[in-house]
Amino acid sequence: MPKVVDHDERRAGFVLASWSVIAEEGLNAATLRRVAAAAGATTGALTHYFTDREALLVETLRSAHFEAGARMLRAASSAGAARDKLRAVILEALPLDDARLREWRVWLAFWGEAVGNPQLRKENEIRIAEWRDLIETLVAPLVGQPRAVEAAVSELLSLVDGIGLRLALAAPAEREDLRADAHSIVDRATARVA
Amino acid sequence: MPKVVDHDERRAGFVLASWSVIAEEGLNAATLRRVAAAAGATTGALTHYFTDREALLVETLRSAHFEAGARMLRAASSAGAARDKLRAVILEALPLDDARLREWRVWLAFWGEAVGNPQLRKENEIRIAEWRDLIETLVAPLVGQPRAVEAAVSELLSLVDGIGLRLALAAPAEREDLRADAHSIVDRATARVA
């Protein structure tokens, strides 16, 4: 009997391998050959699913965003009042544990590459717009005026990106202090939304 | 008579060429060969000054930080009261014009590469510490308690990184709105420092 291959699972395995290679060694290391090896497959098997490196990278970025988005929705649904939901989602977005720190390092690698790569930049703009919409949906019930919603959203998004970036680049010795700072910055910022 | 070469000028020319290549095409494009060509020189002439690509990249990062630092000090010295100095330096740090947007894209490329490169990460930590010290020096006169200084500094640094990152990644159509947002976020944040 021929071996049955679950194509979705196989594809997901390559995306996961790509993710791990980027998180450990940076985006440059994530060649088709290297990712195939990390997935225990041949380059030929990988190119059956992804025609080139860029296609693999775009799907890696997309799947990581979806996973982070799903986590945030779970965080929101387990929190109570509107302000608690907002706070829970923002904390979930930040690299406050080592798994999410790895995630942020991968975003960083992608953003760095997006500087010279229009396709990644475009993909990124779509993801950023989705993230903005999520925060706007959470902020709107707390704020009266539409212009005040915009201002609060813009400030919160800036804080999340800034805190995440600083944590992703911090020396290990400073990480715990920064994580404590992050909690109080988020507490103050969400308390100001009104 | 032999041609007189100003070695400092030659070296600075290579750094400038490296900077331009990174800003236009990303860090991957900045090979020794490509940078030498952009500077109108041979690869051999470039390797006389920089033994390898990493040495060139570290010096490019360092020189860009020094230039940005000098600009900020000028901005501070031309502002009046302590709060105005703080505000002027923060605005100077942000990509509110196209030259500084280019600069931010280069930071982004470096940060992305630093994920998998300990030498760039180390270099970056030194620069981040200098930037933190500058903001702390400007915040301290406005705030009584040392712990309140730390909290204000951490929030301001996060906002600068977040606003800069968002602007560097934004689609051109959204850039002007984001720049207006940036001004009001900075106004509110510096007004809160007390």
Residue with the two structure tokens 């360092």: B62
Q: Which residues of A touch B105 (CB under 8 A)?
A: 115
What are B21-60's pLDDT values in tens digits? 988 888 889 999 999 999 999 999 999 999 999 999 999 9
Q: Kindly state the percentage of chain B with pLDDT values over 90.
A: 63
Alpha helical stretches, state H, B52-145: 53-78, 82-93, 98-114, 118-139
Predicted confidence at residue A114, as pLDDT, reads 86
Predicted confidence at residue A1, as pLDDT, reads 56
The residue-averaged pLDDT of A141-165 equals 94
Q: How many interchain CB pairs under 8 A, A with B?
A: 142
User: Rounded distance, CA B127 to CA B69, Å?
Assistant: 10
| Sequence spans of domains, chain A | 1-51, 61-192
Q: Which residues contact B47 (CB under 8 A, 6 or more apart)?
A: B32
Same fold for the pair A1-51 and A61-192: no
Residue among B7, B3, B21, B5 at smallest CA distance from B57: B21
Q: Please report the DSSP string for A103-128 in residue order.
A: HHHHHHHHHHHHTT-HHHHHHHHHHH
Check if the beta carbon of residue A110 is closer than 8 Å to that of residue A131.
Answer: no
Q: Is A165 on the interface with B (CB under 8 A)?
A: yes
User: Rounded distance, CA A188 to CA B189, Å?
Assistant: 12
User: Rounded distance, CA B93 to CA A167, Å?
Assistant: 19
- Mean pLDDT check: name the lowest of A18-32, A61-75, B1-15: B1-15
> Residue A115: which of B108, B158, B166 has the nearest Cβ?
B108
Q: How confident is the model at residue B1 (pLDDT cuts 50, 70, 90)?
A: low
- In A17-46, the residues whose Cβ lies within 8 Å of chain B are 22-29
Residue among B73, B88, B55, B53 at smallest CA distance from A28: B53
- pLDDT exceeds cutoff 60 at A165: yes
Residue B150 exposed, middle or buried by CB count within 10 Å (0-12, 13-18, 19+): middle
Q: Which residues of B touch A30 (CB under 8 A)?
A: none
Q: The tokens of A169 are what?
A: 């680049």
Which segment, A143-147, A160-164, B166-170, is predicted with the most confidence on average?
A160-164
The residue-averaged pLDDT of B161-165 equals 96
User: Rounded distance, CA A80 to CA A86, Å?
Assistant: 10
Q: Kindly state the percentage of chain A with pLDDT values over 90.
A: 63
Q: Which residues of A touch B121 (CB under 8 A)?
A: 169
CATH T-level topology, domain A1-51: Arc Repressor Mutant, subunit A (1.10.10)
Residue A38 exposed, middle or buried by CB count within 10 Å (0-12, 13-18, 19+): buried
Predicted confidence at residue A154, as pLDDT, reads 95
The residue-averaged pLDDT of B103-108 equals 90
Q: Is B108 on the interface with A (CB under 8 A)?
A: yes
ipTM score here? 0.87
Q: What are phi and psi of B148, to 5 degrees?
A: -70, -30
Q: What angle do CA B95, B101, B105 make, to 5 degrees?
A: 120
What are A98-119's pLDDT values in tens digits? 989 988 988 998 998 888 888 8
Architecture of domain A61-192: Orthogonal Bundle (1.10)
Q: The tokens of B153 are what?
A: 């500094």
Q: Which residues of A touch B151 (CB under 8 A)?
A: 181, 184-185
- pLDDT exceeds cutoff 90 at B175: yes
Predicted confidence at residue B27, as pLDDT, reads 86
User: Rounded distance, CA B108 to CA B113, Å?
Assistant: 9
